[in-house]
A and B are shown apart, each in its own frame.
Chain A
Amino acid sequence: MHPAPSVILFTTFSGMGFGLLFWLGISTSAPTGWVAFVFFAIAYIMAVGGLLASTFHLGHPERAIKAFSQWRSSWLSREGIAAVATLLIMAAYGAGLVFFAAQWTILGWLGALGALLTVFTTSMIYAQMNTVPRWKHWTTPALFLILSLGGGALFAGKIAFAIPLLIIAGALQAFAWFHGDGRFNASGTNMETATGLGHIGKVRAFEPPHTGTNYLMKEFIHVVGRKHAMNIRILALVLGFVIPVVLLLIGAGHILGLIAVISHIAGILALRWLFFAQAEHVVGLYYGQR
């Protein structure tokens, strides 16, 4: 799949933003006043900024309002509704903390649940795709959720939660990569089933439909940079999990915390790039490619 910057930024920052909102929502010692304002501003810039980034790849962003209508069948529609509902609930909860120094606990819990639901619906947009065997697996929603929780805990300064969550997230990511590598071959879809010509013999793409490229090849057959996948995986694990966990273990402090956060963001951006760049869509088979 084409690793479009808009969706990489969206999934990375929205995930962290909603993760931070989750921890702010359930916190028993939530900040108030200006401190609360800074926390909520960071969360909203990431969550809303990510959502806005995702509209950049739309052909007609001015019609985006229509995307709230098909929640019965569409995970993308459900995500839109969950995101907007969560942001509205958390805005009221945040206003209470910032302006009235009052923690409306029920709103907080409701918003926290909404934040989790939003991240889950995002993950299901990918995990529902039969056409991309690497995504069609329980590890996709599990990873989106735990990365969001871990990153959110890091931003929220919940170090006791951030350390174990980041360790589990790193391990789960490594497992998802390892297991995902074999899923295309295990899916049972190949050139023989794609063409239905397997009963004659081995199928080879002889001539593509056009001499040039097309939308399908640009969107679904992305091979640039795949050869560096292993190095990027190691880099993502080190930046996203190892460095932040080590820094958190060394001790608290704003400078170390900031470095941990920046390292984590870089790591998540790298693994999200891989999430798309390494995802192979079955339509590539019609072009004899993966």
Chain B
Amino acid sequence: MTTLPPPSAKKLGLVIDLDTCVGCHACVISCKGWNTENYGAPLSDQNAYSGAASGTFLNRVHSYEVQPPILKDQPAAPAQLIHFPKSCLHCDDAPCVTVCPTGASYKRAEDGIVLVNEQDCIGCGLCAWACPYGARELDAKEGVMKKCTLCVDRIYNENLPEEDRQPACVRTCPAGARHFGDLGDETSDVSILVAERGGFDLMPEQGTKPVNKYLPPRPKDVAPEYDILAPYLEPIAEDGKGFVSWLDKALSALPGGAK
């Protein structure tokens, strides 16, 4: 059924730290790798070795330049470059699920993960239309809708060592910018992180109630006005003696010489 289940107590999701992300795209690659080799249809590429390559990805990293406002009588603050990984936000009020005509899209009642049953998907693309985040991509080869599964085949997989039972993107992130946990539990590490760092929703006005949260970049340090090395670079002797001192004075005495 593509009607949404009542909100689950357990809300598994990701917390993405925009302060820490270095934009290395390792999460993109590990996601594509795991989800091509495991659950569901592989994520295909088209014309992978030509100048017009494209392919299916469940996680993409954008980069944005943010220019702080220029205030009067102050030098312009430098623009910030912010890397921005984006995948399915596993929304509480997922519009992609309710539009599905076949029941292929569903939100799990037990943990809130939004999934696609690929055997039922007719590839109409309406769920991708309904998603404001671009989280769903129709695979050009398989003709079915692909989306982030929150690595449902890892997080509950008892054949994997315990440290690997988290989404591939989280496991691989070298900067520790991605966190996985239960956002329905106020005492979980991810919930505490969101509370402490002021985690926010993407496009809250769309009313999708995303489970995934983003942590804002921390304010940049302001460069001090003074030069901390200046005291050590003061001329040691003003009244020099000897040849170099004579040369200095002689050159300064010439027309146009530096004082």
Contacts and interface: CB of A to CB of B under 8 A. Distances in A.
Interface of A: 1, 57-61, 63-64, 66-70, 72-77, 80, 125, 128-132, 187-189, 191, 193-197, 199-210, 212-216, 219-220, 281-283, 286-287
B247 interface: no
A202 B67 contact: yes
B161 interface: no
Contacts of B86: 286
B64 A76 contact: no
A80 B132 contact: no
Interface residues of B, number: 72
A206 B64 contact: yes
Nearest to B217: A200
Given A58-B124, A194-B203, 14 more contacts: A58-B122, A70-B1, A70-B2, A74-B98, A76-B99, A130-B95, A191-B64, A200-B80, A203-B65, A204-B65, A205-B65, A212-B52, A215-B54, A283-B132
Contact of B204 (A73, A193, A199, A212): A193
Interface in B95-120: 95, 97-104, 120
Cβ-closest 7 pairs across A and B: A59-B123, A59-B143, A209-B60, A77-B101, A67-B101, A207-B63, A201-B68
B138 A215 contact: yes
Contact of B57 (A80, A188, A201, A214): A214
Nearest to A188: B205
B56 interface: yes
Contacts of A203: 64-66
Contacts of A200: 66, 68, 80, 216-217
A20 B130 CA distance: 31
B214 interface: yes
Chief secondary structure at chain B's binding surface = loop
9 contacts: A58-B143, A69-B103, A77-B101, A131-B132, A189-B205, A196-B201, A197-B216, A204-B67, A216-B134
B129 to A, nearest CB: 6
B34 interface: no
Contacts of A194: 202-203
A64 B102 CA distance: 8
Contacts of A281: 129
B9 interface: no
B54, B97, B129, B137 interface centre (most CB from chain A within 10 Å)? B129
